[in-house]
Structure 1
Amino acid sequence: MEDDETPPADPLALIQREQANLARDLTPDPRLMYWPWGFAWLIGFGLLFLRFGPDGKVFVDLPEWLPLTVLLLLLIAAGITTGVAGARASRQTAGPTSRQGRMYGFAWSIAYTGFSILFAQYSGVLPDDKLSLLWAGGMVGLTGALHMAGGAVWNDRQLFFLGAWTSVINIIGILAGPGWHSLIVAVAGGGGMLLAGLLWRSRR
């Protein structure tokens, strides 16, 4: 063999590289999947904390309707963004994987609808601060559980860890009480999603 000849590439290495490239192409950008929710939680729950702080303290005298309205609008925008990103990725797949993705998406929609109907039954029974904690704690807890379920289904340790983290901080926030829950979810939950999207993007 001449000195200037290039040795043949390792076929196994080539196959592994192409598999990695394919997996990357079929996986949505983590920033598109986590950053919209991270910003929604950080801003939305942050406003709730500023307006409805611990023991009813008002840090910023915002209109009462504003924090919840902003949170809901941001959550809707996040759902649309991640839905479009996920749909684009799923169009390149078929069979069981694509079906799993659709079923997982339906699970989110049905679960959130069921929780919303359930919690609405207590709108005239509980005090406002307890009712807000019920809604926030229930929805954040559901998010953590579904993330862990998704991580288990797809053997995705990162997604499972995010779900576990979300569940733990939600429990801490619930125990801390109204007001503190919003702060904990905003900083540790929203900030955690922003950090996860950044770190997992760099690893990708």
Structure 2
Amino acid sequence: MSFDHPPRILFLYGSLRERSYSRLLAEEAARIIGDLGAETRFFDPRGLPLHGAEPATHPKVQELRELVAWSEGQVWSSPEMHGNISGLIKTQIDWIPLEIGSIRPTQGKTLAVMQVSGGSQSFNAVNSLRILGRWMRMFTIPNQSSVAKAYQEFDEEGQMKDSPFRDRLIDVMEELHKFTLLLRDKVEYLTDRYSERAKP
């Protein structure tokens, strides 16, 4: 297991509201995993066009793709909107291609999924994010965070209050940190596929 550099973790969040709880949850998670030794970066989705509305040369698309290439692991945090993920988080994921030339930018990267809800606890958004992570060939960790009545869980400064929800968030970030380190030197071996080696 290589410790030659801190795990590089990219955070994506799914709301542009001034007090976005999916962003606040992501920021809390970043503080936690940063304390564990990870290097963290955020993508600000403001100005990102809908997929297909602009060419992939758009500056925000290029910024997102550069951050994805930089990352070893990612955290996707979405509000639950109408029983599913928000359009904003889906737009970000849609702009991440399965291939850029011969490089698969998400294959073998670790992923943690999180959601916030305005009402009772739900797992619809994290379940959808898991499907997308699998499609993107990412190693989605077993643990996840789903915060119910998120408006009650953060103080005026945007810090998460002590609660079982925060305890679970710590568990998720510890697990992501461990999996990212454990898989770092094994990604090429684990993602090597017969169907891709075989020649007609």
TM-score (norm 1): 0.31
More relative contact order, 1 or 2 (CA 8 Å, 6+ apart): 1
Decide which structure has greater strand share: 2
- Structure that is richer in helix per residue: 1
Larger Rg: 1
